[in-house]
Structures are given as C-alpha cells and as structure tokens.
C-alpha cells in the first residue's frame, strides 16, 4: 500500500494539477474499475488492491510526459515512455506465463488498458488528447492548436501562461515550479477547462 501511495504521489501530482481534482479522480476510479473487470473476466482468482488504478495513472503520465526521465532504483535513467512500455510488456508476459500467481498481472494490464482507452477516446481536457498522438515524439506540446484565433484576451492570456508553465514542467518537473507558477497553472487550467467549449467553437 505504501509503495502504491508513493507511485500515486510521484506520477499523479502533476496530472491532478493539470486536469483538476475532479477529472483526475474520475480517471483514477475508472482505471480501477477497469482493472476489476479484467480480473473478473480473465483471472481464476479474485484479488484486491489499487495497483490497477495506479497503472492507469502511470500510463497517463507516460502519455503526457513521454520524454521525462525517471531513475530506476534511483540510479539508472530512462525515459518514462520506454519504462512504461517495458513494464506493461512484462506484465503481459507474466500474465500469460503465470496463470496461478498471487500477483494480479491481469489487474495491472486492465488498469493500463482502460486508462489508455479513456485517454484516447474519452472526454478529457484538450492537453491530454494531444499528447496521445505524440507518444514517441519529443518537443513542445501542440495544445495551443486547439484554440480558436478569435479567443478573448483573458483566454489568450491564460493560454500563454499555461503553455509556458507546461513547457517548464516538461523540462524540470512540477515540483520545481514556484508557488506563483503553481497558482497560475491551477487558475489558468481551471479557467480554460470552464471555457473549453467556447475556445473550440
């Protein structure tokens, strides 16, 4: 449980600030429900735990920040997109080859798959949808392309501020933002979500 909570903090903090708490919790619980469905349908043994939802969060993080570096055992640097591909691949191989394991590999796969499908086809903020197609592409987010040229001045202001802060997050991580930048990111993201329909018309 403690390890799951550490992973949730490590990968979920930035996503929650960017999506908003309501959207993040919805995604988290849907990933968990998906993991439960996979276990019910494909596993001969019932299991409990939050690891399926955690895998959904990790997949979302890899899609949003594919080139972010993480350190395996705090020593070996690897891009998060490659880490997640290897991890999901390992879970699949273990599921196929370990039918009677007490570890819920199928639950992990279920959370990852449902999380990915929801990010790709479900209703999420404009930023996340744009990252799906760029899983193996570096560079800046192209989220600004989703706004209309005729947006009002306040929308344009928040768009510029949020994009600049997101670029900084991509380079140095959320935890290295100043308190003012965190406040502006939360404020701007909330405003843009609330006015998403008028920005996309």
Number of domains the chain is built from: 2
Q: Does one domain contain both 28 and 116?
A: yes
Q: Does one domain contain both 95 and 186?
A: no
Structure-token pair, residue 118: 């929801």
Classify residue 72 as exposed, middle or buried by CB count within 10 Å of its CB (0-12, 13-18, 19+): exposed
Rounded to 5 degrees, what angle do the CA atoms 155, 135, 198 make?
Answer: 20
pTM recorded for the entire structure: 0.59
pLDDT of residue 57: 92
Q: Does one domain contain both 61 and 114?
A: yes
Q: Does one domain contain both 178 and 105?
A: no
Q: Does one domain contain both 109 and 11?
A: yes
Q: Does one domain contain both 26 and 123?
A: yes
Question: Max alpha carbon distance in the chain (Å)?
Answer: 60
Q: Does one domain contain both 74 and 159?
A: no
Segment (H or E) for 51: helix 51-64
Q: Rounded mean pLDDT of 45-69? A: 82
Q: Does one domain contain both 93 and 156?
A: no
Q: Does one domain contain both 67 and 38?
A: yes
Q: Rounded mean pLDDT of 82-105? A: 78
Q: Does one domain contain both 127 and 172?
A: no
Q: How far apart are the first and last CA of the chain?
A: 44
Q: Does one domain contain both 24 and 117?
A: yes
- Please give the residue that has the higher pLDDT: either 46 or 197: 46
Domain with 81, as residue range(s), is 2-132
β-bridge pairing 76-79 and 69-72:
antiparallel
Segment (H or E) for 76: strand 76-79
């Amino acid at each position: 449980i403690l390890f799951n909570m550490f992973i949730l903090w490590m990968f979920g903090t930035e996503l929650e600030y960017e999506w908003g708490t309501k959207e993040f919790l919805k995604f988290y619980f849907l990933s968990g429900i998906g993991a439960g469905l996979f276990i019910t349908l494909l596993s001969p043994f019932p299991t409990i735990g939050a690891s399926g939802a955690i895998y959904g969060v990790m997949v979302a993080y890899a899609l949003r920040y594919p080139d972010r570096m993480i350190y395996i055992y705090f020593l070996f640097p690897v891009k998060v997109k490659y880490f997640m591909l290897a991890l999901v691949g390992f879970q699949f191989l273990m599921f196929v080859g370990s039918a009677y394991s007490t570890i819920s590999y199928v639950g992990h796969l279920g959370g990852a798959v449902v999380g990915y499908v929801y990010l790709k086809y479900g209703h999420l903020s404009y930023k996340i949808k744009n990252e799906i197609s760029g899983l193996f592409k570096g560079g800046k987010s192209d989220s600004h392309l989703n706004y209309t040229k005729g947006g009002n001045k306040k929308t344009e202001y928040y768009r510029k501020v949020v994009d600049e802060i997101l670029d900084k997050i991509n380079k140095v991580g959320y935890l290295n933002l100043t308190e003012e930048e965190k406040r502006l990111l939360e404020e701007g993201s909330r405003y843009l979500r609330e006015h998403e329909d008028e920005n996309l018309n």
